[in-house]
Amino acid sequence: KLLLDSSENCPKLSLKDLENLSPTTASSLRSLLYYDETPAASVEDVFCLTFTAGFSHFGEHIELPLIVDGSSIAVTASNRHEYVDRYVNFVLIEGVQKQWSAFHKGFQVMCDGKGVSLLRPRELEALVNGTTRLDFGELKANAKYEAGYSESTPVVRWLWEILEGTTKSGENGEYTFPIEARRKFLKFVTGCDRSPVGGLRSMRPPITVQRDGGAQNNKLPTSHTCFNYLLLPDYESKAILYERLVTAIENASEGFGLR
């Protein structure tokens, strides 16, 4: 929204935007707004807040005033809406102004143009971050195979069964990935846990599954995220493939190499 701030398509930042960043903080502020005070339990007595914003900086707790002499002004039923508005503004804008200015400058260098001003916030977010909808059937339909692999190779079939959540007769589903594991797999292979605009069918380059040696059951899968390559050993069973995939995605999701 801030990137589109000069556009009429951009609404103001609100408590809902803060919820995307910190659901717990947003929930606490909503409790303040909707609290029904009584003579015996006023907003001031129950919440004990002043017009300040507190945060941790290298282990030190710091409080900054939201208005002049904010530390001596109590939050009451009559001014709580102003407090919430100022708190949201501090967290999302004023408190990160230096970092935001640097990011905004870089964004303008890379993406400045009249077309950006035509976008709505959600449209810009989708273009930059991708979408959260994941259809691994689309990923499979556009996948490529190298070094002797094909869609009918047993280890490749097992891979898609694990990712798509399908099972064969006699299986109980123990070798299938839940949605969170699928996101980690996607990040392991592509560097991002979201799909591009248009879905996983629009991924460029498409995912490529390459044979990595023979039946090396002790070797982990590896990837080249810049090219969406999955280097997959030719495991002897679906159980071994599942175990090696879990080990790989759980230990290599924070940058290059294993943790």
- Bridge partner list, 232: 211
DSSP 41: B
Query: How many Å from the N-terminal Cα to the C-terminal Cα in the chain?
Result: 35
What is the C-alpha to C-alpha distance for residues 220 and 232, in angstroms, rounded to an integer? 8
Contact, 15 vs 91, CB < 8 A? no
Paired strand residues for 148: none
Distance between CA atoms of residues 28 and 173, nearest Å: 40
Taking the CB of residue 43, how many other CB atoms lie within 10 A of it? 21
10 assigned to active site: no
User: Which residue is catalytic, options 10, 111, 192, 226?
Assistant: 226
- Residues labelled catalytic: 226
